[in-house]
Amino acid sequence: MFRFAHPQYFYLLFLIPLLAALYLWVWRDYRRRLSLFGDSGQLRYLIQEAAPYKVLAKYCLVAAAVAVLVFALAGPQVGSRLRKVKTKGVEIILAVDVSNSMLAEDFEPSRLERTKMAINKLVDGLTEDRIGLVVFAGDAFVQLPVTGDYVSAKNFVSHLSPSMVSSQGTAIGKALRVAGRSFSSQSDRSRVVIVISDGEDHDAGALDVAREMADRGIVVHAVGVGSPEGAPVSVDGEMLRDSDGEIVVSRLNEKLLQDMAFATGGSYIHATGGSMGLDQIIKQVRGMDAQELVIDRFEEYSEQYRYLVAIALILILTEFCLLDRKNRIVERMTLFHKENENTKTE
């Protein structure tokens, strides 16, 4: 597994546009000062040795070296040993609505994008639990089986989009059935499904499925994303319209989500703030009886920064050796000789 040990150093990449701005300022100041001495045509003749393109090349080399050094500082690492670790925790399956209605923008930048950010924040707070991911619209399927690999979980979450499910709609009942079959443990405790949706269910029976899951000891929590007033849905820059040509307005259906969660002893949260209420649900999950879990964990990592430092040094040395003037020796070199037309043939 590949990771960066210190991703906070990526903020240093903002130095590159600053270097670009500094380069432009210096170049314009140089041209302004040069214009004080006379006509630009005469000056070009007087300073034939100058090679402006090399100045640009030197900047590009410096900028590339800075970028490579930033990546080196971020600590690239490759997992070199995977070990199974016994721990106590809870299995959590996130059932995420990826239907077109989740593109509504009553949550900025959209319901789905806010959901992805909130899930990433949730995963960052997990330590001993296992997590899985089910996506649904008109159909449902397992996107990520339950795992203790939180890096992979965040990677899968980042790719959530309506295009993942060809059949549109919001079949919460199907999502619950798929999630209920996806737990690795058949224990009658420590199994949680968190449904994140706007609740616009187009498949009757979600409440019945929730009651079946309650009989199996599975707790369902629900997070309602959106507003009761609703918002239009934009797909590929165009407003979604119904068969009558009217703009589709997606509204939050809290009643279904509440009944579904309460039927299993879970809770319903109306999404607010950066965590969208997931932090409150996780607090409740922490109060459950933990079960013994076996998770795969990378115990050792090999550092990869040395290769990046070597590349940066090569770039810096190249920049140092690159002169601002034209190389007359190279200019005099004739790689291809063309026979003079005036040359007499025998």
What number of CA atoms fall less than 13 Å from residue 81's CA on the CB side?
Answer: 5
- Spatial distance between the Cα atoms of 76 and 71, rounded to a whole number of angstroms: 7
- pLDDT the model gives residue 59: 84
Residues of the chain where predicted confidence (pLDDT) is lower than 70: 1, 34-53, 79-85, 186-189, 201-204, 293-301, 323-346
- pLDDT the model gives residue 225: 93
Question: Which of the 8 DSSP states describes residue 195?
Answer: E
- pLDDT the model gives residue 47: 53
% of the chain residues with pLDDT over 90: 40
- pLDDT the model gives residue 345: 46
* Structure-block tokens of residue 307: 């290769």
* DSSP symbols for 124-176: HT-SS-EEEEEEESSSEEEEEEEES-HHHHHHHHHT--GGG-SS-S--HHHHH
Q: Where are the beta strands (DSSP E) in the chain?
A: 2-4, 76-89, 91-97, 130-136, 140-147, 191-197, 219-224, 231-232, 234-235, 238-239, 249-250, 268-270, 291-303
- pLDDT the model gives residue 110: 92
| pLDDT tens readout for residues 191-243 | 999 999 998 766 668 999 999 999 999 999 999 999 888 888 888 778 878 77
Question: What strands lie across the sheet with 268-270, from one edge to the other?
Answer: 140-147, 130-136, 91-97, 191-197, 219-224, 268-270
- Spatial distance between the Cα atoms of 159 and 171, rounded to a whole number of angstroms: 20
- pLDDT the model gives residue 194: 97
- Spatial distance between the Cα atoms of 340 and 331, rounded to a whole number of angstroms: 19
What number of CA atoms fall less than 13 Å from residue 326's CA on the CB side?
Answer: 9
Q: Is the pTM of this model over 0.85?
A: no
Beta-carbon contacts of 102 under 8 Å, excluding residues fewer than 6 positions away, are 110, 111, 112, 115, 162, 197, 198, 225
153 close to 130: Cβ distance less than 8 angstroms:
no
Question: Which of the 8 DSSP states describes residue 14?
Answer: G
Using only C-alpha atoms, the chain has a radius of gyration, in whole angstroms, of: 30
Question: β-pairing, 268-270 with 219-224?
Answer: parallel
